[in-house]
């Protein structure tokens, strides 16, 4: 696993941009919140897989998180502008390959619709095209999920008491539910001081995402797309990936039978093979 606190490759206008590996570039669009960017477990694991595929990974810290000093605006357009800026900083002209996971996958999809000329191929992992994930069978925030009421209780407390303590407890519950193998779960410790510290990061981006629904526009995407999903993903369940694959003309759908939200951690070899084969196609 790479360093948890990577040094930005370049920072322009307060945006921290990173480059890992060697080879043809692939652009990893991070989640617009603080929970999936270089230095976090899930982002680092995905970056390692992409580097192992012989690619140079370009990515950035979203405004308001990590090493980025750019003030956050909490909007989709902000993320699209940051992607444009990072590609320019990295000197990547024309169309390139894009990778997005979870909420970052939703931004990746939006970028492909807004800048089709910049997209060569796209890998979408455990993500969605609209608000349907809230009602997809097995979703964390669907009452059909066995952990719904605990999640809902901590979610309410998170809103009523905007401190690091309830935020961390809620994220730990989500993380525990997102793996098939409990041994892979890494829980963040909570101290009594966390109940006094303000919550950190861009957690309010979820309210922006809830208003987005790109499902009616999926047919506009002409680039080849690889849709990957853990069969037991409770954050963006298989129904979300099925919707993506059904709506995109040149989409290939692959499920990982022993994975939850992080197939690149739980089934890393199978995941790497699928991605390497797709990115190696002409």
* pLDDT, position 64: 83
CB-side exposure of 73: number of CA atoms within 13 Å? Answer: 8
- Cβ atoms 10, 85 nearer than 8 A: no
* pLDDT, position 6: 67
Residue 13 Rama label (left phi>0; alpha psi -120 to 50; beta): left
* pLDDT, position 4: 47
Q: What tokens appear for 224 in the block?
A: 């080849």
The model carries a pTM of 0.94
Residue 185 in 3-state DSSP? coil
Q: Where along the chain do its domains lie?
A: 10-139+208-279
* pLDDT, position 130: 81
Fold of 10-139+208-279: Rossmann fold (3.40.50)
In angstroms, the Cα distances linking 134 to 131, 165, 203 are: 6, 25, 17
Average pLDDT per 10 consecutive residues for the chain, totaling 282 residues: 61 88 93 81 94 95 86 87 93 93 94 96 94 79 90 91 91 93 92 90 72 92 97 94 95 97 97 95 60
Nearest partner of 103 among 42, 32, 40, judged by Cα: 32
Within 10 A of 172 (CB to CB), how many other CB atoms are there? 17
């Amino acid at each position: 696993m790479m360093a948890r606190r990577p040094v930005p490759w370049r920072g322009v206008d307060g945006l921290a941009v990173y480059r890992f590996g060697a080879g043809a570039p692939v652009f990893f669009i991070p989640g617009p919140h603080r929970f999936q960017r270089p230095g976090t477990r899930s982002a680092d694991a995905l970056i390692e897989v992409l580097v192992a595929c012989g690619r140079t990974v370009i990515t950035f810290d979203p405004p308001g998180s990590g090493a980025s000093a750019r003030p956050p605006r909490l909007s989709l357009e902000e993320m699209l502008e940051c992607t444009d800026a990072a590609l320019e900083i990295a000197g990547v002209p024309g169309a390139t390959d894009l990778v997005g996971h979870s909420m970052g996958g939703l931004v990746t999809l939006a970028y492909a619709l807004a800048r089709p000329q910049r997209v060569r191929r796209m890998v979408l992992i455990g993500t969605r095209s609209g608000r349907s994930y809230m009602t997809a069978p097995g979703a964390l925030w669907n009452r059909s999920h066995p952990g719904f009421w605990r999640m809902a209780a901590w979610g309410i407390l998170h809103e009523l008491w905007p401190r690091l303590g309830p935020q961390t407890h809620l994220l730990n519950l989500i993380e525990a539910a997102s793996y098939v193998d409990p041994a892979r779960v890494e829980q963040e410790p909570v101290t009594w001081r966390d109940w006094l510290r303000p919550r950190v990061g861009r957690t309010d981006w979820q309210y922006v995402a809830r208003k987005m629904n790109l499902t009616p526009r999926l047919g506009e995407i002409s680039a080849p797309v690889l849709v990957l999903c853990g069969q037991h993903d409770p954050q963006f369940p298989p129904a979300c990936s099925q919707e993506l694959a059904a709506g995109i003309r040149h989409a290939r759908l692959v499920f990982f039978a022993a994975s939850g939200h992080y197939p690149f951690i739980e089934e890393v070899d199978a995941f790497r093979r699928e991605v390497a084969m797709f990115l190696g196609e002409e």
